[in-house]
Amino acid sequence: MRIPIHREGWPFIAIFAVINAGLYFLSPWATAAFVPVTIWCIAFFRDPERTPPPGENLLVSPADGVLLPIVQAAPPEELGLGSEARPRLSIFMNVFNVHVNRMPVSGEVISLAYRPGRFFNASFDKASVHNERMSARIRPSGSGDPAADLVVVQIAGLVARRIVCDIKAGDRIGRAERYGMIRFGSRLDVYLPLSAKIMIKEGSVTKAGETVLAQLQG
């Protein structure tokens, strides 16, 4: 069975395979012990196809993982959206989840902002504020109102050391399309417009591009 792999994974898979081959000449037992690590590396970079659900104005999960407690919080200040609190949906990805990130809605990338930071455990609430992050401000298709903009934030975690973001300001992207990934455990935050209706409960398991998080109004 063919396992689709994200392009970011091939260098790591090659390194792990070389290590496995080298260990074979030292000790077959060492090779056998390292094989599960190589299999995990392959699984980490898997990139399965996803089919978004039918329906108007549905916002889907940008990541596989578990939905953390839903809170009210101000979006990243570097995006210029002000300090008014919005509903924030945070998805924690462990090292066994698919780590390819997908766009929650179809729309236009209004702006991007990278901010260096710490590497706290991504399941902690303070990770949203203090950790390294890449924030994207998205205007849903058909909307000319800045108040309808939403924010998606890729956040590095405890062992994550690289955020990959393949979009730029001015791009138009479809709902559930791939737009990046984070290597080795992390978190994605979605800041909703105030008019959005949340359609998921904390603790729910999510699949990127398929699980509905909210419905946008209008």
The secondary structure of 148-215, three-state, reads HCEEEEEEECCCCCCEEECCCCCCEECCCCEEEEECCCEEEEEECCCCCEECCCCCCEECCCCCEEEE
What are the extents of the domains in the chain? 7-44, 58-215
Type of residue numbered 156: A
Whether 158 has a pLDDT exceeding 90, the answer reads no
In the DSSP assignment, the letter for residue 146 is: G
pLDDT bucket at 185, cuts 50 / 70 / 90: low
Out of 79-83, 103-107, 143-147, give the one with best mean pLDDT: 103-107
Mean pLDDT of 194-215: 96
Mean pLDDT of 76-86: 92
Whether 147 has a pLDDT exceeding 90, the answer reads no
Which pTM was predicted? 0.88
Q: What is the pLDDT of residues 30-50, one digit of tens each?
A: 888 888 888 888 888 899 999
User: Residue 22: its pLDDT value, please?
Assistant: 86
Whether 183 has a pLDDT exceeding 90, the answer reads no
- List residues with catalytic annotation: 186
Mean pLDDT over all residues of the chain? 90
In the DSSP assignment, the letter for residue 204 is: -
Mean pLDDT of 71-85: 93
Place of tokens 């699949």: 207
Share of the chain above pLDDT 70, in %: 97
Whether 119 has a pLDDT exceeding 80, the answer reads no
pLDDT bucket at 122, cuts 50 / 70 / 90: confident
- CA torsion sign for 42, 45, 47, 53 is positive
pLDDT bucket at 111, cuts 50 / 70 / 90: very high
CATH number for the domain formed by residue range(s) 58-215: 2.70.70
User: Residue 1: its pLDDT value, please?
Assistant: 56
Mean pLDDT of 110-119: 90
